[in-house]
Structures are given as C-alpha cells and as structure tokens.
Amino acid sequence: MGDLFRGAIQALRLILALDPQVLSILGLTLRVTGIALLFSTLIGVPLGGLFALRRFVGKRVVIAFLYTGMGLPPVVVGLFVYLLLSRSGPLGYLGWLFTPRAMIVSQVIISLPLVVGFTMASVMGVDPDLRRQLASLGATSWQATWAILKEARTGVIVSIVAGFGSIISEVGAVMLVGGNIEGYTRTLTTAIVLETRKGSFDLAIALGIILLALSFVANVAMLSLQGKRLGE
C-alpha cells in the first residue's frame, strides 16, 4: 500500500516537473499507439463495413480468421514481426527491427482484427432494409455504405476504443520488436517492466498511473464522439 501511495505521489511529481525522461517515454507511446490506431482505423473500419455488407466467396473462412485474430497473443505477433524484420527475414532489408516502425507494425497487426471485427458486428446490427431504403432515395453504393457506417457509429467507436485498449497496454510485442531502447523505443509499458525488474517500484507505479490516466482520457475523448447516443 505504501508503494502505491509513494507511486501516486511520484507520478504527480514527475508530471508536474515535466520530467524529460517521462515526457520522452510518454511521447513515444502516444506516437506509436496513435499512428498504429490511425492505420487500424483507416483500414479496419472500411474493411469491417465491407465484410458486413458484401457477399463474397469464402466470407465464412475470412470471418473465422478474423475472430481468431481478435484473440491474437501480442507476444506471438511480436515474434512474427521479429522474424519478418530480422536481418535474415523477408523484410530484413528495411532495417526496421528495434525501431518505432517495427512497433507500429506489430500494433497494427494486434489492433486491426479488433477494429474490423467490432465494426463488422455493429454494421451487421443496422436494419438490413436501410440499404434498400437509401438506394431507393438515390444513394450510390458508397453513399449508402457511408450512411450505414454513420448509423453504426457507436459500435465503430467501440471498435476503435477496443483497438486502442489492446495496444496502449501491450508489452510483449513492443518489447520484442522495439528492444526497449532508452530514448528511442522505450514505451510506458516496457519502462514499467524494466523499472519493476530494477526494483524501482515508485517509478514503475508512477508510470502505471500515467498509463491509466492516458487510457482514461483517450477513452473519454472517444466516447464524447458518440454524443448523446449513450442515453445520458
């Protein structure tokens, strides 16, 4: 309990003092997670809409893979990306291993199935006759799809929140492919692991509190996008 209390005080002190090391870790965490989430959203939301609205051969198999992907262990993703980007791997020539780019790649792979899967489920929950009604009003296929995505926006935002949650707290993959290099690939989660191993529980708890606060603020911001749809 004492450690927790001291950690909270330490967190406050580090934040108020704008500690450069913490700011660097926080900045990298935000950058990597933000870019990964942006890619996942840009790819995942249209893909989720497509899977929900289009019929195609092999859809059942694709969805089975998608649902499997929603439960991918991050450390397995890390291992896969590591092998892909390692010097002898097929993409080794890129030189991305132990860089923030590798971390972004692994985080996209982790969050994308969640964004696609939850978007698909929410779009499938929209009245199936809506598409016909919109077509009847003169909507093109894209205009109708956009309107349906807007109808499913609560679910789409949940999909982004789920994607965010899966990568902001993720440690296995970023540790493997980023290498936890100070000032370069050290994120909040990998720093917490390191400080805990060193026995610096105050700092580890402080970073944990910052991580939780960050997650809370990001979720409140995304929930506010839902407007009045939460029934408050």
Partner 1 sequence: MNSPVYELRDVVKLYGQREVLHLGHLVIPHGEITCVVGPNGAGKSSLLRLLNFLESPTSGQITFDGRPLNGKVPLSLRRRVTMVFQRPILLSASVRDNVAYGLKLRGEKEVEARVSQVLDLVGLSQFARASVKTLSGGEAQRVALARAIVIEPEVLLLDEPTANLDPYNGSLIEKIVAELNRERGIAIAVVTHSVFQAKRLAHQVAFLLGGREIEVAPAEQFFSTPANPRTAAFVRGEMVY
Quick check: 166 and 110 in contact, CB under 8 A?
Answer: yes
Question: Is position 224 an interface residue for partner 1 (rule: CB under 8 A)?
Answer: no
Torsion angle of C-alpha atoms 169, 172, 178, 182, degrees rounded to 10: 70
Question: Is position 54 an interface residue for partner 1 (rule: CB under 8 A)?
Answer: no
Q: How far apart are the C-alpha atoms of 193 and 209, rounded to whole Å?
A: 14
Structure tokens at 210: 């910052």
Question: Is position 223 an interface residue for partner 1 (rule: CB under 8 A)?
Answer: no
Question: Is position 21 an interface residue for partner 1 (rule: CB under 8 A)?
Answer: no
Structure tokens at 130: 């809506």
Distances (CA, A) of 73 to 38, 209, 231: 21, 24, 35
Question: Is position 225 an interface residue for partner 1 (rule: CB under 8 A)?
Answer: no
Q: Is the CB of 20 or the CB of 231 nearer to partner 1?
A: 231
Of residues 41, 42, 40, 75, the one with CA closest to residue 178? 75
Among 17, 64, 130, 225, binds partner 1 (CB under 8 A): 130
Shortest Å distance, C-beta 114 to partner 1: 24
Among 43, 70, 121, 139, binds partner 1 (CB under 8 A): 139
Q: Is the CB of 68 or the CB of 140 nearer to partner 1?
A: 140
Q: How far apart are the C-alpha atoms of 63 and 65, rounded to whole Å?
A: 5
| Total residues in contact with partner 1, by rule CB under 8 A | 17
Quick check: 110 and 77 in contact, CB under 8 A?
Answer: yes
- Give the DSSP per-residue string, 135-154: HHTT--HHHHHHHHHHHTHH
* Residue 204: count of CB within 10 angstroms of its CB: 21
Shortest Å distance, C-beta 217 to partner 1: 27
Only segment of 8-16, 102-110, 138-146, 159-167 that touches partner 1 (CB under 8 A): 138-146
Shortest Å distance, C-beta 62 to partner 1: 24
Question: Is position 232 an interface residue for partner 1 (rule: CB under 8 A)?
Answer: no
Among 9, 23, 127, 184, binds partner 1 (CB under 8 A): 127
Applying CB under 8 A, the residues found at the interface with partner 1 are 127, 129-130, 132-140, 143, 147, 150-151, 229
